[in-house]
Structure 1
Amino acid sequence: MQPKLLLLLVISASLGYTAGHQIGFGPCPTNIQLADKLDLTKFAGKWNVIMVTKAHSKCLTMTFTESEDGSLDITEAREFEPFEAVNLEHISKYTGKLTIPNSNEPAKMNIKWPGHFAVSNFFIVDTDLGSKDYAVLFECQQLFIFTRTSAAIIARGKVLDPDTMVMLMEKLESLKIDTRGMTLIDHEQCLADGEGVFNTNIDTDTIGI
């Protein structure tokens, strides 16, 4: 593949991760309800994103990995729809760092994404790590007088039943979180890890192809 095309695809992948947010005014909320008694060891691992703010991709997953220093790595992997249009099989990965300022509130974190000059607030607002196996996430970044927010419903399986989805959407709305831009993610016919002809890996230190 030509170097210019490679560079264009890396830039497109990077911009895709920054696009999935709502822009608003005012400060980030500080009183968001948190998941109770969160067990990070049980929470760690791979999740399928069922619904998320403004995603232009399919097969979106999040993988949380515990580090020895108590932080978490979060890796988002996806297949971008514009690449599908040109028959380019690909998997794009983007890894950020989650830190926990207060060990008594493990569901309230800070997140640093590659290429972002500011840290964002990252909240796990609800979880069921048992029969349903879902979680609800909310992210907010303060940009002067603006806020940049994103919400996601994730699950271990590829779908959630309609009653659970309605309940979780109502939960987000009760917290005054904007759900208007949230879209369902397609998890059919996804590539296995490493199957893509073109793959990108972007983290806080490196960009890999």
Structure 2
Amino acid sequence: MCIFISKFMKKRSSVFRSLRAPRRVTCDDSPGIPIAVPSAPLLRAYKGRPDQPRPPVLTLGGRTSLGIGRCKKVDSVPDFQPDQFQGLWHVMEIFSTSSHCMTMTFKRTGRYTFKVTESREFDLLRRLGHDHTFANTGTFTVKHPWHPAKFKARWPSNIFGSADATIVDTDYDSFAVLVECQHVLFFFRRTSAVILSRENSLDPVIVSRVKADLAKYDLDVAHFDVINHSGCRAPGEAAFNYAIDASTLSFLRRQHKSSKARPKTPPRARPPVRFGMRVPRLRIG
């Protein structure tokens, strides 16, 4: 889990002062991914040896890049048309992931809201021959009406809460670029960039131009991983179809709240008091 990063980063001053390494780690939303942290003797062994490649400070496979500082400011699509943007998009490249067959489906549910379903196949389960699909359904809500391409993204699998999502570029017919960023543990930021396509392939010229544009926002395009779309199953066609959405979490929250709710006993009535004297009630019969 990403929360273990805080325990390691408490000693970041001495570690980074000796390594002079960039303060960047990668993080995954998927459970069960081991964390690789170099031991203290290994870190000391690399101190003062610039000719040797330095070990990674903290890495794990994921779909986000974790850094220190505030989120980068990115521009959104001017005059965004949500009706033209909705529909199925294939994920061509995304930050640091090992998943396959990733797609994102945008369905407009209100004037300022989208229901977004992200579908994928996990690489480890696919190697083990497990026929499956995994769907994660969240909501995109427009932050300000005058910026209709900037959203507050809420994913049920994100334990840190909502994130800022921005549609940086799109022509609605062939490609789109989505950037998400979230502040974590006060001084960390989780950043993810996605290159989308209406088809399961995209012109390399467009991909190169998109990466050049993202590099202008100081986003490290080296984190991009290409998604394999060969032999993909549509959601519902696999032998095992896993899904998580907001209704599942809300059901758990409702159960949690109802278990805490206890019937309150009404307060016991007190006899009337007149001129500072307590007058007992009289029973008749």
TM-score bracket for the superposition, by shorter chain length: 0.7 to 0.9
Indicate the SS of the match to 2:124.
helix
Query: Is the contact between residue 62 and residue 95 of structure 2 (CA under 8 Å) also seen in structure 1?
Result: no
The reply on whether 1:48 has 2:90 as its aligned counterpart is yes
Query: Is the contact between residue 29 and residue 62 of structure 2 (CA under 8 Å) also seen in structure 1?
Result: no
Offset of residue 161 of structure 1: 1.2
Query: Is the contact between residue 108 and residue 115 of structure 2 (CA under 8 Å) also seen in structure 1?
Result: yes
The reply on whether 1:142 has 2:183 as its aligned counterpart is yes
Query: Is the contact between residue 175 and residue 195 of structure 2 (CA under 8 Å) also seen in structure 1?
Result: yes
Provide Cα deviations, 1:78-117, integer angstroms capped at 9, x if missing partner.
1111111211110100011111121121111111111423
Q: Which residue of 1 aligns with 2:229?
A: 187
More strand by share: 1
| TM-align CA RMSD | 2.0
Q: Which moved more, 1:140-149 or 1:115-124?
A: 115-124
Identity level (%): 34
Indicate the SS of the match to 1:164.
helix
Q: 1:64 aligns with which of 106, 111, 114?
A: 106
Separation in structure 1 between the aligned mates of residue 145 and residue 195 of structure 2, nearest angstrom: 24
Indicate the SS of the match to 1:77.
strand
Separation in structure 2 between the aligned mates of residue 126 and residue 62 of structure 1, nearest angstrom: 16
Provide Cα deviations, 1:140-172, integer angstroms capped at 9, x if missing partner.
000110000100100101111111111011011
Separation in structure 2 between the aligned mates of residue 127 and residue 160 of structure 1, nearest angstrom: 13
Offset of residue 69 of structure 1: 5.4
> What is the identity, as a one-letter code, of the residue corresponding to 2:199?
G
The reply on whether 1:27 has 2:70 as its aligned counterpart is yes
Q: Which residue of 2 aligns with 1:153?
A: 195
Separation in structure 1 between the aligned mates of residue 122 and residue 138 of structure 2, nearest angstrom: 19
Greater relative contact order (Cα < 8 A, sep 6+): 1
Separation in structure 1 between the aligned mates of residue 155 and residue 149 of structure 2, nearest angstrom: 18
Separation in structure 2 between the aligned mates of residue 148 and residue 87 of structure 1, nearest angstrom: 32
Offset of residue 13 of structure 1: 8.3
5 Å-filtered alignment, 1:56-205, equals 56-68=98-110, 70-115=112-157, 116-130=159-173, 133-143=174-184, 144-205=186-247
Provide Cα deviations, 1:9-43, integer angstroms capped at 9, x if missing partner.
xxx98538x931100000113x3111121100100
Check 1:35–1:85 CA distance in 2 against 1; reply closer, same or farther (3 A cut): same
Q: Which residue of 2 aligns with 1:5?
A: none
Check 1:119–1:192 CA distance in 2 against 1; reply closer, same or farther (3 A cut): closer
TM-score by length of structure 1 reads: 0.86
Structure 2, unpaired ranges of 5+ = 1-27, 33-60, 250-285
Indicate the SS of the match to 1:101.
strand
Separation in structure 2 between the aligned mates of residue 120 and residue 101 of structure 1, nearest angstrom: 11
Query: Is the contact between residue 30 and residue 62 of structure 2 (CA under 8 Å) also seen in structure 1?
Result: no
Check 1:194–1:23 CA distance in 2 against 1; reply closer, same or farther (3 A cut): same
Provide Cα deviations, 1:171-201, integer angstroms capped at 9, x if missing partner.
1111111211110111111112211111111
Provide Cα deviations, 1:35-79, integer angstroms capped at 9, x if missing partner.
121100100011000000112111100001111353111110011
Provide Cα deviations, 1:129-150, integer angstroms capped at 9, x if missing partner.
24xx100010000011000010
Separation in structure 1 between the aligned mates of residue 221 and residue 30 of structure 2, nearest angstrom: 24
> What is the identity, as a one-letter code, of the residue corresponding to 1:72?
F
Check 1:151–1:196 CA distance in 2 against 1; reply closer, same or farther (3 A cut): same
Separation in structure 2 between the aligned mates of residue 162 and residue 101 of structure 1, nearest angstrom: 32
Offset of residue 202 of structure 1: 0.5
